A and B are shown apart, each in its own frame.
Chain A
Amino acid sequence: MSDDMDIKDKAAWDAAERVADYEHGWSSDIETDFAPKGLTEDTVRFISAKKNEPEWMLEWRLKAFASWKTMTPPDWAKLNVPPIDYQDAYYYAEPKAKPKLGSLDEVDPEILRIYEKLGIPIAEQKLLAGVEGGEDGGLPQRRVAVDAVFDSVSVATTFRAELERAGVIFRSISEAIKEYPELVRKWLGKIVPMHDNYFATLNCAVFSDGTFVYIPEGVRCPMELSTYFRINAENTGQFERTLIIADRGSYVSYLEGCTAPMRDENQLHAAVVELVALDDAEIKYSTVQNWYPGDAEGKGGIYNFVTKRALCQGRNSKVSWTQVETGSAVTWKYPSCVLNGENSVGEFYSVAVTNNYQQADTGTKMIHNGKGSRSTIVSKGISAGHSNNTYRGLVRVAPNAEGVRNFTQCDSLLLGSLSGAHTVPYIEVRNPSAQIEHEATTSKISDDQMFYAMARGLNTEEAVTLIVNGFAKEVLQQLPMEFAVEAQKLLGISLEGSVG
Chain B
Amino acid sequence: MPAPTRHDEAWRYSDIAAVAAAWPLPAPENIIVPAGGHYARTIVQDSGAIHQIDIAIGKGATAAIHVLNIGGEYGRIELNVTLHEGADFKLGGVQIGGNAQTLEIITTVTHAEPKATSSQIVRSVLAGTAIGTYLGKVAVARNAQLTDSVQSVKAMLLDRSATANAKPELEIYADDVKCAHGCAIGELDPMGLFYLQARGLSPADAKKLMLQAFVAGVFEGAEHEEMLIEAALQKLGELV
Contact = CB atoms under 8 A, between A and B. Distances in A.
On whether A and B touch (CB less than 8 Å), the answer reads: yes
Interface of A: 76, 399-400, 412, 414-444
- 5 closest A-B pairs (Cβ-Cβ)? A432-B157, A414-B175, A438-B183, A440-B181, A435-B186
Contacts of A425: 166-169, 183
A421 B175 CA distance: 9
A42 to B, nearest CB: 35
A428 B165 contact: yes
B148 to A, nearest CB: 11
Contact of B172 (A400, A420, A428): A420
B175 A429 contact: no
B172 A414 contact: yes
B182 interface: yes
A412 B155 CA distance: 25
A437 B145 CA distance: 28
Interface string B90-113: 000000000000000000000000
Interface residues of B, number: 37
Given A417-B176, A431-B157, A432-B158, A423 B182 contact: no
Contacts of B186: 434-437
A422 B184 contact: no
A435 B180 CA distance: 20
Interface in B116-150: 142-143, 145
A417 B170 CA distance: 16
Taking each of A428, A439, A441, which has the highest tally of chain B beta carbons within 10 Å of its own beta carbon? A428
A437 B182 CA distance: 7
Contact of B180 (A400, A417, A432, A441): A441
B160 interface: yes
Interface of B: 9, 142-143, 145, 155-187
25 contacts: A399-B160, A417-B175, A418-B142, A420-B172, A422-B169, A422-B171, A423-B181, A426-B165, A427-B165, A427-B183, A427-B185, A429-B164, A431-B157, A432-B158, A432-B162, A435-B184, A435-B186, A437-B182, A438-B166, A438-B168, A438-B182, A440-B182, A441-B180, A442-B177, A444-B176
Given A417-B176, A432-B158, A442-B177, A437 B183 contact: yes
Given A423-B181, A436-B184, A438-B184, A431 B170 contact: no
A76 B6 CA distance: 13
Contacts of A443: 178
A442 B170 contact: yes
B175 A444 contact: yes
Contact of A429 (B159, B163, B169, B182): B163
B185 A429 contact: yes
Contact of B159 (A412, A417, A418, A432): A432
Contact of A430 (B142, B163, B178, B181): B163
Given A399-B161, A430-B160, 11 more contacts: A412-B172, A417-B176, A422-B169, A425-B166, A426-B166, A427-B164, A430-B164, A432-B187, A439-B181, A439-B183, A441-B181
Contacts of B180: 439-442
B172 A422 contact: yes
A443 to B, nearest CB: 8
B160 A432 contact: yes
A67 B237 CA distance: 53
A445 to B, nearest CB: 9
B110 to A, nearest CB: 14
A481 to B, nearest CB: 33
A423 B151 CA distance: 13
A381 to B, nearest CB: 10
A145 B180 CA distance: 43
